[in-house]
Amino acid sequence: MPELSYREAVRDALSRAMRDDEDVFIMGEDIAEMGGSMGVTQGLVDEFGPERVRNTPISEMALAGAAIGAAMQGMRPVAEIMYEDFLTLAAEQIVNQAAKHRYMSGGQVTVPVTFRTQGGAGWSPGAQHAQQLESWFVHIPGLKVVFPSTPTDARGLLWSSIYDDNPVVFFEHRTLYGIKEEVGDELEPIPLGQARTHRQGEDVTVIATGRLVHEALAAAKEAEEEGISVEVVDPRTLLPLDEDALISSVKKTNRCVVAHEAVVRGGFGAEVAAVVQYGAFDWLDAPIERVGAKFSPLPFAPVMEDFVVPHANDVLEAIHRTVSRT
């Protein structure tokens, strides 16, 4: 099995879809010759040409609107929003147009568009280039929201997103692009709405997203040395959400920690906590713990950035708190 990085896995899904289906094309700021801001689409213009790897003007609203229009006409565009923060500039098109047309047309119109975007802390990008805004879009009926944490998941979930007849917002974390794992030659689509258990455990469930999946796994390894057995579950798709998998895990372990990089207040973890509370209340032996960033714009200084966002030690402390409340 070949070893692919997260970046290469995303590129592989895009290139395979474009080879298989002429209705698939990609568009975004500097995605052709420059390969996008993070080099994910590097080399694709050489194979597919500028008609299917389209540089766009520096206007997120315009490129999102163009992608939505193309999708409504039967294409399957993948639009790259250079930074997650810039989704705010395209929000009218994504929230009021892409998410609504299928419903408002009574199902006569589909909008099979995928909005790829990346963000996240860990490399001092500053307050306007590293926000985690996934919870904003989970709140919008009509959208699907995906947040893979591994190369295998990135490839399989992106393929499924491209071939979903609904608009999908596909989040990638900047610091995950370099991680590698063995990925099979044959691309296996991963259904949207199916969680993944990365580690089995008996004492506490950690439900984590994006970069925090890896921080949770590191915390689980440390906890194991202390005799605490930790199960780590990654929802992978935030909408639709695999509620049954999350609830089933918590019913087994009787404790729950929810971890994400976004700020705690109003973060996706609040929704997960509510789902677990409703579905597994009688099984909980301790209150649900939430781990996330402090309520602050992301500082530019590395030491301050590190202070604001959560890490493995924060997850481990939450594990200790919930276990100690037995």
Residues 146 and 167: their CA atoms lie apart, in Å, by: 11
DSSP H helical ranges for the chain: 6-20, 44-48, 60-72, 87-91, 101-104, 134-138, 151-162, 211-225, 243-253, 268-280, 302-308, 312-324
Residue 163 is classified by DSSP as: T
- Residue by residue, DSSP assigns 30-95 as T-STT--TTSTTTTHHHHH-TTTEEE--S-HHHHHHHHHHHHHTT-EEEEEESSGGGHHHHHIIII
Helix then strand then coil, in percent of the chain rounded to 5, is 40, 20, 40
Q: How many residues in the chain?
A: 326
Residues 215 and 221: their CA atoms lie apart, in Å, by: 10
Tokens of 221: 């390894």
Residues 241 and 260: their CA atoms lie apart, in Å, by: 15
Residues 153 and 183: their CA atoms lie apart, in Å, by: 10
Cα of 109 vs its chain's centroid, Å: 26
Residues 94 and 111: their CA atoms lie apart, in Å, by: 11
CA separation (Å) from 101 to 67, 69, 144? 14, 11, 14
Residues tagged active-site: 60, 129
